[in-house]
Amino acid sequence: MIVSVTFLSMCVLGFSQGGTQTIPSVDLKTMDGKTINSSTFSNNGKPMVINFWATWCKPCVLELSNMAEIYDTWAKETGVKVIAISIDDTRSMARVAPFVNGKAWEYEVYIDPNSDFKRAMNVPNVPHTFLIDGSGKIVWQHTSYADGDENELYEMIKKLAKGESIK
């Protein structure tokens, strides 16, 4: 069994990089209830990070908290913008604005109350992070979070900002 798991694991990892994919068009909510479409996401040709999270997800909150500490530097050095998509549903979506402001996060935050955008982006679980290049293509993605993962992400962002390929 261990052998088959190892073998299959290698198969999975071999396929881990997807092809060219752009951001699908899905309606989301702003924190104050307005409808906004994901196709309007842009950062004037600079890289963008789209992070799926929820207020009840500990690793998600850790990831966004750790990134918040260095977000200023990231934005200054590379012009990157982080968009945080909360998948909190009706039960906890009223928590999102006080939660985000209470932590003084400076991300663009939108709510995906019925997980429509999560499904369209094929996200199995939160946290899940996408890196989008200046032309709107998804060039890298990462699932789960371990302390320090933001450094790997930032290496990618720096490469993109310099116009290098990250593959």
For other proteins, the binding residues (CB under 8 A) are 1, 4-5, 8-9, 11-13, 15-21, 24-25, 27, 31-35, 55-58, 65, 89-95, 97-104, 113-116, 119-120, 122-125, 128, 140-144, 146-149, 151-152
Closer CB to other proteins, 147 or 164, in the complex:
147
For residue 74, the minimal CB distance to other proteins (Å) is 17
Contacts of 119 (CB under 8 A, 6+ apart): none
Q: 129, 50 in Cβ contact below 8 A?
A: yes
User: Residue 6: helix, strand or coil by DSSP?
Assistant: helix
Nearest distance in Å: CB 43, other proteins: 21
Q: Pairing state of beta strands 48-53 and 128-132?
A: antiparallel
User: Given the complex with other proteins, which of 39 and 42 has the nearer CB atom?
Assistant: 39
**Residues 6+ away with beta carbon under 8 Å from 114:** 89
Cβ at position 40, least distance to other proteins in Å = 13
